[in-house]
Structure 1
């Protein structure tokens, strides 16, 4: 039943048509004459390509526009509801999914939390989320054009999760597993990389962004000179596992003194018993601690301040290494912004090289918990148009 709502890769094969489509996507509402001006194609070519795109339901006409003399031009717009993309953010203790149209507008969302489940158990919860989103998708020409999944771990360019230590995953071919169930294109990406792209596309839009995703772990996504930097094999951004304490605690990755042990929710979880929360679900500890801090509990406030200070320690290394325009902090730690922000900024201001700070902004994400899901949904939509262009 679900397969009827999934794109079957019917695509176009004409380069001029792709150029016309991209021009309409980027500049709509637009007339045929304006398309010809922007692309350099002759009006006859534009007209024939527009006719095919109308037949394929990727664009539509909307009444006459303003005339500078003579007949009023017919205005063309991109049909963003010709298909839908699914974006999934898998966290250490949650799954969050969204359904977007081809412009990235969120049409539906679904989430659930869990605690210390096996891969097979998480896989079934993932399928539950995806099934729900597919079922909720409105009828459209192309249906579900792809599924993007962000994972808190190292993923290679073939969609394999090599290591997600906080989930206990190793060498999981998640792409194949999901494609076999849904028979549509699937993209697997590190959740921080996806978050960085989500911020670039739907948030700040600047060309040099460091996105720091802080939940139970820490991941870092790098937008450098306007492009997502993935490294030689796709493993960039594992900065939650840089050593900031030479003789520190042992991390789940096997190393000692990793940044995420001191600057993420793990620091709260490790102190839970001191606050009478030793029996609490790990999902609830952050919110419980936020509640205590809001009520004026000085020990909770001090713990958040310590976490903020450690967040600053890691950021100094990142800032001095990459000289970004903007650092954006996202994921669940944003709930504690009130207490972590000031010590973080003080640490950076005091210890980052002064010339690195001249044009630097440090912000908390305004996309809330949507950043990663929006990023992987956008990857899937762009993959649809890439295949569309190549066929």
Structure 2
């Protein structure tokens, strides 16, 4: 039986170990002395924790480095290749998968498009994707596959169960358990907008910002909210379902059961629907993909450009409401629609400038995602990396 004193000592040690590892992760190279100086830990504690991290192959040692007068110090660096994470962005009509190292650099990626598949068919596509990604993980890695993260377009509770994904027609799907049973690694399931927000905050346009709204615009619309550097998920994990706020009280019926939802007017689905009604002798508008639409816009198709600008206006309406509610430091527009930035941005920013409260616009930055279609997959992979470190550095002991 461990005493409270022993337990407290253990907790302090593990917290210090995380502190030391984070210091090494966030610096390309650093010495033990520098770690002690920056963290305030004594040199003996730092040396002991560094020894453990070296044994666990989470860091590397090389050198010597520059000396300030005494013996030249050995230099430490983070071993980003100690393990690999899989990140998956599961969309309504596609699946994008990536393999990243522990730093978040992409080793391999694969994209597959599909249309109108059943639950079982999508699950098979997901298995194929993950199997392909696993095959590209270097076999010499000490930890190999450390986890799988999946971003899904739906409501995910705190137990990571998918309660509802309207555009996939999924209800009460425990994808976490299904994938853990199949692959025997920890699995993180997250709302795709939350994963996208985390991905942009870590690796994209959100770097250096602390209060962020990430607007994920694909077939539907989701919003990832970051407040004071922390992902906000709400009381039960359901925050960010702004795609289903009503902007037209007498509007169309939505798959969620509501009417006049924002995503019916400002999403990729809305754009495709509007363009189907266009006519031109040399173009079959009813069969266009978003990529083909972007190509036509680049070629100066004025009908296409006008429809994209209309989507930008509707996006501005919803974003304006959120700006007035959250007073964010930054708004990021991401996912598939970010490809249409050249035509969306002028209309969207004009609407916000003309309709947002003037004090809400102070110090407000409107950006499009830097990682565009990869934000969600990167965020999902990063969730798995953080879970790996948490589990690896905070192992349970008997008390």
Whether these two folds match at TM > 0.5 is yes
Is residue 329–residue 364 contact of structure 2 (8 Å, CA) maintained in 1?
A: yes
Q: What SS does structure 2 have at the residue aligned with 1:81?
A: coil
- Pair 1:200 & 2:204 matched: no
Residue 233 of structure 1 is matched in structure 2 by: 236
Partner of 1:151: 152
Q: Give the structure 2 partner of residue 338 of structure 1.
A: 342
User: SS of the residue aligned with 1:245?
Assistant: coil
Name the counterpart of 1:300.
Answer: 304
Q: Does 1:313 align with 2:314?
A: no
Report SS of the residue matched to 1:96.
strand
Aligned-partner Cα distance in 2 for 1:117–1:286: 19
Alignment of 1:71-82 (within 5 A): 71-82=71-82
- Aligned pairs, how many? 377
For residues 35 and 313 of structure 2, the distance between their equivalents in structure 1, rounded to whole angstroms, comes to 53
Q: Aligned-pair distance for 1:272?
A: 4.2
- Give distance in 2, aligned partners of 1:136 and 1:371: 21
Give the Å deviation of 1:279.
5.4
Unaligned ranges ≥5, structure 1: 1-11
Partner Cα distance (2:236, 2:381) in 1? 22
Paired position in structure 1 for 2:379: 375
Q: Does 1:274 align with 2:277?
A: yes
Unaligned runs of 5+ in 2: 1-9
Q: CA deviation at 1:380?
A: 0.5
Q: Hey, what's the Cα distance between the residues in 2 that align with 1:18 and 1:294?
A: 49
Matched, 1:385 2:397: no
Residue 367 of structure 1, CA deviation = 1.2
Partner of 1:31: 31
Alignment of 1:165-244 (within 5 A): 165-203=166-204, 204-205=206-207, 206-244=209-247
* Cα distance, 1:217 vs structure 2: 0.6
State the distance in 1 between where 2:17 and 2:323 align. 43
Equivalent runs, 1:6-155 vs 2, <5 Å: 15=14, 16-138=16-138, 139-155=140-156
- For residues 20 and 274 of structure 2, the distance between their equivalents in structure 1, rounded to whole angstroms, comes to 58
Contact 1:192-1:221 at 8 Å conserved across structures? yes
CA distance in structure 1 between the partners assigned to 2:17 and 2:335 by the alignment: 39
User: 2: CA distance between counterparts of 1:73 and 1:120?
Assistant: 57
Confirm whether residue 329 of structure 1 aligns to residue 330 of structure 2.
no
- Give 1:122 shift: 0.7
Contact 2:275 2:307 in 1 (8 A): no
Contact residue 315 and residue 348 of structure 1 kept, 8 A: yes
Superposed CA deviations along residues 192-250 of structure 1, whole A, max 9, x for unmatched, are 01111111111222001100010111110001111100000111000011000010001
- Displacement of 1:381 in angstroms is 0.3
Aligned position for 1:251: 254
Note closer, same or farther for the CA distance 1:17–1:359 as it changes in structure 2 (3 Å cut): closer
Shift of 1:49: 2.4
Shift in alpha-carbon separation, 1:130–1:350, aligned structure 2, 3 A: same
User: For the structure 1 residues 49 and 297, does the alpha-carbon distance in structure 2 shift closer, same or farther, using more than 3 Å as the test?
Assistant: closer
- The equivalent residue for 1:353 is 357
CA RMSD of aligned residues (A): 1.6
> CA deviation digits over 1:315-369, x for unaligned, max 9?
1101000001111001111122222211111111111111111111111111121
Aligned 8 A contact 1:163 1:170 in 2 = yes
| SS in structure 1 at match of 2:81 | helix
Q: Which moved more, 1:20-29 or 1:331-340?
A: 20-29
CA contact (8 A) 2:339 2:372 kept: no
SS in 2 for 1:345: helix
